[in-house]
Amino acid sequence: MNASPAFWATVETLIAPASTRPAVRYLIAAMLIAAALLLRLAIAPPEAGLPFITFFPAAALAAIFGGLGPGLLVTAVCAGLAATLFMPPVGTGSYTEVSVLVYVANGVLVCAAIEVMHRYHRVYKRATADLVTAKTMEEAARHATEAVNRELQDSNRDLEQFAYVASHDLQEPLRMIVSYAQLLKRRYHGRIDGDANAFLDFMVEGATRMQTMVIDLLEYSRLDRAGETATRFDSGEAIAAVVASLSLAVAEAGAVVELGAMPPIHYHRSQFLRLLRNLIDNAVKYRDPARPLTVRIDARRDGDRWVFSVADNGIGIDPAYFSRIFLIFQRLHTRDKYDGTGIGLAMCKRIVERHGGKIWIESQPDGGTTVLFDLRVHGDESHADGTPPSSQ
């Protein structure tokens, strides 16, 4: 049985931080501190250890229900309570002051991650509301053009604000977390117990991965705001420059990159370079270790469209995953096997569609992969070597 819309509206109201009511937010934080302390005392006596078993969830709940400030407050207060009431004297137990530092660093990281999700949710919710409004006004669009334009401008300002938050407000705390996490690892790794060493490793890895994801998301959000204008240039020379920039990775993979005849095109040059770099980098990354890698880049004319293809003889992709491959942050492999954030092909799709084209994949497992994309022909274009366009 489906819950009513009123039920879900109530749930969303409870979960969303009360950003306009600071007193409520910090009252929630105080209640969570008290509940965590009472629950910890109910679980076991203070001398039993387990100093953070209830305090870490309290910090996460404070960040969810109250926002970043209450979450950090609960983290700091609970760290003090754990160090004062539930940790043995230094040198007499398995927990040390480093354990408190690890708890605080992890608490700050979790609170920052929850804040990112809150901010993204607000932007996404407003953009979704704008989209619903635009659909309901479709029949009266001719009479409401100015209002729709104002709403779209508001949405763009919200997205620009999110990009600003990602590039300034979030990246700086993340850089600080990564720096201090690496400092803790260098200073204390090997001098503390095995669990604490593992905690430090997880903290450094998680913070670094989150920093990479924020940077990639910022690059993705900036694609539509690029100030560069489209120009006419030789795509063959541009691709050769991309291959040269990837020469070290290509050489380490023992790969051969073959380039067919390429036409001059009308495109945003920097985005074309990024598009080909992502596709070639993917071909190198997902190569088959059982055979030498060959990457073949071609272009053919199909009516008023140029169709480019980047083909490799790598591990291939199951057709069942074709619908997911271009979605942002979608990964088909675990991080321990292939690194990355899962945003490369999503960025390729956005670049191609921004230029009025489409992108698709032809592949089979263990049969290599061919990524194809098209773009409009501008004027009487021919291949870079002077040969006339193909009519295939």
pLDDT tens column, 331-349 = 665 555 656 566 778 888 9
Q: How confident is the model at residue 390 (pLDDT cuts 50, 70, 90)?
A: very low
Tell me, what's the pLDDT at 319? 85
Which residues, 6 or more positions from 390, have their beta carbon under 8 angstroms from its beta carbon? 300, 301
Tell me the C-alpha distance between 50 and 103, whole Å. Answer: 12
Q: Report the interhelical angle of 22-43 vs 55-66 (nearest 10°).
A: 160
Tell me the C-alpha distance between 385 and 262, whole Å. Answer: 7
Reduced to 3 states (helix: H, G, I; strand: E, B; else coil), residue 201 is: helix
Residues pairing with 360 in the sheet:
372
Task: Give which of 285, 339, 290 is closest to 317, Cα–Cα.
Answer: 285
For the segment 275-304, what is each residue's pLDDT rounded down to a tens digit? Answer: 999 999 888 888 888 899 999 999 999 999
Alpha helices in the chain (DSSP H): 5-15, 22-43, 55-66, 68-81, 97-136, 145-164, 171-188, 194-221, 235-245, 247-252, 269-285, 344-354
For the segment 100-154, what is each residue's pLDDT rounded down to a tens digit? Answer: 777 777 777 777 777 777 777 777 777 777 777 767 766 666 666 777 677 777 7
In order of 239, 261, 264, 297, 380, the CA distances from 386 in angstroms are 17, 9, 10, 18, 12
Reduced to 3 states (helix: H, G, I; strand: E, B; else coil), residue 105 is: helix
Answer yes or no: is pLDDT of 373 > 90: yes
For the record, the structure tokens of 109 come out as 């990281």
**Mean pLDDT, range 39-56, rounded to an integer:** 72
How high does pLDDT run on average in the chain?
Answer: 76
Residues pairing with 309 in the sheet:
298, 372
Tell me the C-alpha distance between 278 and 45, whole Å. Answer: 56
Q: Which CATH class is domain 231-376?
A: alpha beta
For the segment 241-282, what is each residue's pLDDT rounded down to a tens digit? Answer: 999 999 998 999 899 999 999 999 999 898 899 999 999 988
Provide the whole-model pTM.
0.50
